[in-house]
Amino acid sequence: MINLAKISDDYVIALAAIVKSALIVNKIATSEYKAEEESVILLKSIYKTDTFDSALIYEDKRNISDGLNILKDILMGKNDIFLMNIQKYALSMMLIQKNISKISDLQDLIRKKIDNYEEDSMMATNFDDLITYSAGIYKEYVAIIRPKVVISGKKECLERNSSLIRALLLSGIRAAFLWSYHGGSKWQLMFRRSEILNKCNKFFI
């Protein structure tokens, strides 16, 4: 059955955050792009588990504006290779989220690892440690889920940014959980595309 939940601001923010995670992954996998500064808000979102308010989790709508713009391009049916890669990664993260949600024991293990992160700890102020910790969760608990996310790019970029890529994939999966909570489903992306696009177009009005 198609989910007829309202397309809310929370829904759009979470969906744009998934796309933004995929967007940055694509950039750092294929170029010398420096993504540390814009990745902070995404990685910290993983550890904000005390609220389902997307605006609080991502702090400001404009933090996900580039993800929103790419989302609009996808919803309008643009299909160049750049957008197709981002869409592929985003859909893969949504599928992993769905598969994790079916395994309660795995969810519990991931949640315990996330809960062990203290927002006021040294890790919260050291971005390299945040990347390492988040990548570790992904490698230990998420990479075992099939099908895996297969990232395309330049070998040297993939090797140099492997930890940040894993951490960003985890942030995208976290956003997928939030999107699902606010009524998101793959069926909506097929059958309510124009409605979602209309909401996106009015998002900053």
Give the pLDDT score at 125: 60
Residue entry with tokens 């097929």: 190
Whether 42 is in a domain gets the answer yes
Whether 169 is in a domain gets the answer yes
- DSSP characters over 136-192: HHIIIIITTSSSPP---S-HHHHHHTHHHHHHHHHHHHHHHHHHHHTT--HHHHHHS
Whether 85 is in a domain gets the answer yes
- Could you tell me the two tokens for 69? 């713009």
Does the pTM of the predicted model rise above 0.75?
yes
Whether 2 is in a domain gets the answer no
Whether 102 is in a domain gets the answer yes
Q: What's the CATH code of the domain at 137?
A: 1.10.3890.10
Per-residue pLDDT tens, the chain, 205 aa: give them: 444 578 999 999 999 999 999 999 999 999 999 998 899 999 999 999 999 999 999 998 889 999 999 999 999 999 899 999 999 999 999 999 999 999 999 999 999 999 988 655 555 568 899 999 999 999 999 999 988 899 999 999 999 999 999 999 999 999 999 999 999 998 899 899 999 999 999 987 6
User: Residue 81 sits in which domain range?
Assistant: 9-201
- Could you tell me the two tokens for 70? 């790419």
Residue entry with tokens 């992306």: 189
Number of domains in the chain: 1
Distances (CA, A) of 134 to 40, 85, 130, 183, 203: 12, 23, 6, 26, 30
12, 199 in Cβ contact below 8 A? yes
pLDDT tens-place string over residues 94-122: 999 999 999 999 999 999 999 988 655 55
Residue entry with tokens 């570790």: 136
Whether 154 is in a domain gets the answer yes
The helix/strand count (H/E) of the chain reads as 11, 0
Whether 179 is in a domain gets the answer yes
Whether 132 is in a domain gets the answer yes
